[in-house]
DNA sequence: CTGGCATGTCAACAGGTGTTGGCCTACGAT
DNA sequence: ATCGTAGGCCAACACCTGTTGACATGCCAG
């Protein structure tokens, strides 16, 4: 029972900075790296603490338990662009290029996939990203907004599948493709999932 | 140093049946279930042994160590059909329907994906399936056989992505689709990855 | 200056892990 | 009938896990 009140944003809206913010940030950074690299089980609290240069018990103090740390460390922001300003025929390409870009600049995504497969809290995270970040953007440009969840799921399935092939499992032919090749192959798929009338 | 010689096929080519074949089979069955349900780390040898109704040390005796057990328990057979006998325009549908069927009748596939994401031996397994089972069948019907690995990787990315969405992460809109709907959406994609000329 | 509290360390707990070696049992070839 | 050996169980090892509580320290408000 120490400081349970301000457990949300590290440097949040109006909360004045705490003396421990640097430590909290170090923990989160280390946790992100470990979760992404090793998955949930193998990313031990001790290893994370060691990376952050502090004692394991600090992790417990600030994040309650391992799952709390995981939740705090893996807030995902897909940084979805505004698609309503994009040429209708270029949506597929725009989306694929965006995902390639995001994926290679934020190792959290690979970590999220790794964890989503293993532990329920991770799966829920991934479902939430689909529901709250991907689907709404799709709905904004989708001919029939009601179909947005299904279309988002289809698009997501192709994106996650390619991410698995390239970044997680590293299947050679997929990992070896250049950005433009991936875009050339996947863009028409995404475009169809987005715009084609329901088959 | 007990019986290291016949460590291969449980009831192999010409090896006479061993008295322990039933036990070995029980271990493998239990291991498959646990690996598929829990992933590599959470599937403990003790739990597998309990399911199989034997002592944990038997697992070690017969399969050396946990990774050996994993390798033995997760031999994947995609049961790929002969595509050369299929109508050229129906290849996409044939493939998607086949994968849906295989996936829902063999929980090992979900297990393999779960493990491939976590431990290197699992990833290698998945790569081998792509290389040895998927790519050759693709090569047999692909206009330019040299492109088979890339095309197989593309097809596999969409298949694995949909499997992730439906069976692993269980994203509601994807998991709720009927077989025919999945086929209707994915078949054109696979058909294009298979047949369309390189973009 | 001083007391309170956040920050941080240390050491330990209780439980679970993969793995090992010793021992008993009973089958099957001789 | 006998004896080697494969099959099986038991108990333990050494280690690692998440988690906890007691104790030191130093900042900052009063």
Cβ-defined contact of B160 to A159 (cutoff 8 Å):
no
Amino acid A62 CA to nucleotide D17 C1' distance, rounded Å:
19
Residue A198 confidence class, pLDDT cut points 50, 70, 90: confident
Query: What is the greatest pairwise CA distance in chain A?
Result: 58
Average pLDDT, chain B: 90
CA A84 to chain centre: 23
Partner A contacted by B126 (CB < 8 A): yes
CA A56 to chain centre: 26
Instruction: Evaluate if residue B23 carries a pLDDT over 90.
Output: yes
D7 closest protein residue (CA to C1'): B20
User: Is B151 in contact with B139 (CB distance < 8 Å)?
Assistant: no
pLDDT (average), residues B155-165: 98
Percent of chain B with pLDDT over 90: 79
**CATH among 3.30.70, 1.10.357, 3.90.1570, 1.10.3470 for B83-195:** 1.10.357
Amino acid A41 CA to nucleotide D14 C1' distance, rounded Å:
21
Q: Which of A117, A138, A178, A186 to mutate to test the interface with B (most CBs of B within 10 A)?
A: A117
CATH class of the domain at A21-73: mainly alpha
Q: What is the sign, positive or negative, of the torsion defined by CA atoms of A12, A18, A21, A23?
A: negative
Axis-axis angle for helices A45-52, A21-42 (nearest 10)? 150
Please tell me whether residue B167 adopts helix, strand or coil conformation. helix
Instruction: Evaluate if residue A83 carries a pLDDT over 60.
Output: yes
Residue B119 confidence class, pLDDT cut points 50, 70, 90: confident
Same fold, B21-73 and B83-195: no
Query: Which pLDDT score is estimated for B20?
Result: 79
pLDDT (average), residues B13-20: 66
Q: Express each pLDDT in B24-40 by its tens digit.
A: 999 999 999 999 999 99
Amino acid B55 CA to nucleotide C28 C1' distance, rounded Å:
24
Q: Express each pLDDT in A134-180 by its tens digit.
A: 999 999 999 999 999 999 999 999 999 999 999 999 999 999 999 99
Task: Please spell the DSSP secondary structure of A133-191, one letter per residue.
Answer: IIHHHHHHH-SSGGGHHHHHHHHHHHHHHHHIIIIIS--HHHHT--HHHHHHHHHHHHH
Q: Express each pLDDT in A33-47 by its tens digit.
A: 999 999 999 999 999
* Euclidean distance between CA atoms B48 and B98, whole angstroms: 30
Instruction: Evaluate if residue A4 carries a pLDDT over 50.
Output: no
What are the chain A neighbours of B160 within 8 Å (beta carbons)?
161, 164-165
First to last CA, chain B: 57
Instruction: Evaluate if residue A3 carries a pLDDT over 80.
Output: no
Q: Say how many C-beta atoms besides its own lie within 10 A of residue B8's C-beta.
A: 9
Instruction: Evaluate if residue B1 carries a pLDDT over 50.
Output: no
Task: List CB contacts of A42: < 8 A, sequence separation 6 or more.
Answer: B41, B118
pLDDT (average), residues B124-146: 95
How many residues are present in chain B?
A: 199
Residues with CB under 7 A from strand C: A 2-3, 18-20, 22-23, 53-58, 61; B 19, 43-47, 56-57, 59-60, 65-67
* Among candidate residues A23, A79, A82, the one with its CA nearest the CA of residue A54: A23
For residue A116, give the chain B residue with the closest CA.
B169
* Euclidean distance between CA atoms A142 and A133, whole angstroms: 15
* Euclidean distance between CA atoms B167 and B156, whole angstroms: 15
**Residue labelled with tokens 């809206």:** A13
Average pLDDT, chain A: 90
CA A179 to chain centre: 20
Query: Which pLDDT score is estimated for B16?
Result: 59
Provide the residue ranges of all domains of chain A, joining segments of one domain with +: 21-73, 83-195
Asked which of B109-113, B136-140, B154-158 is least confident by mean pLDDT, the reply is B109-113
For chain A, state the CA radius of gyration.
19
* Euclidean distance between CA atoms A96 and B150, whole angstroms: 18
Q: How far is B32 from chain A (nearest CA, A)?
A: 16
pLDDT (average), residues B162-187: 97
Residue B7 confidence class, pLDDT cut points 50, 70, 90: very low
Which DSSP letter does residue B18 get?
A: P
Distances from the Cα of B178 to the Cα of A58, A78, A155, B102, B184, angstroms: 48, 29, 17, 15, 10
Chain B contacts in chain A segment 54-93 (CB below 8 A): none
Residue A12 confidence class, pLDDT cut points 50, 70, 90: very low
Percent of chain B with pLDDT over 70: 92
Cβ-defined contact of A193 to B171 (cutoff 8 Å):
no
Phi-psi region of B77 (alpha: psi -120 to 50; beta: other; left: phi over 0): beta
Residue A2 confidence class, pLDDT cut points 50, 70, 90: very low
A39 touches strand D (CB under 7 A): no
Axis-axis angle for helices A21-42, A56-63 (nearest 10)? 100
Joined tokens for residue B177? 């689709």
């Amino acid at each position: 029972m120490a400081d349970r009140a301000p457990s949300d944003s590290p440097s949040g809206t109006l909360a004045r900075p705490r003396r421990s913010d640097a430590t909290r940030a170090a923990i989160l950074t280390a946790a992100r790296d470990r979760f992404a690299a090793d998955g949930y089980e193998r990313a031990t609290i001790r290893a994370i603490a060691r990376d952050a240069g502090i004692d394991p018990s600090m992790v417990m103090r600030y994040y309650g338990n391992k799952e709390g740390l995981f939740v705090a460390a893996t807030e995902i922001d897909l940084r979805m662009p505004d698609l309503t300003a994009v040429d209708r025929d270029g949506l597929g390409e725009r989306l694929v290029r965006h995902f390639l870009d995001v994926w290679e600049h934020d190792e959290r995504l690979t970590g999220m996939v790794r964890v989503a497969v293993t532990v329920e809290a991770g799966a829920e995270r991934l479902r939430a990203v689909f529901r709250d970040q991907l689907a709404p953007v799709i709905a904004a440009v989708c001919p029939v907004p009601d179909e947005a969840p299904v279309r988002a799921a289809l698009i997501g399935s192709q994106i996650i599948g390619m991410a698995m092939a390239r970044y997680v499992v590293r299947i050679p032919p997929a990992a070896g493709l250049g950005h433009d090749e991936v875009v050339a192959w996947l863009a028409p798929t995404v475009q169809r999932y987005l715009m084609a009338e329901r088959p």
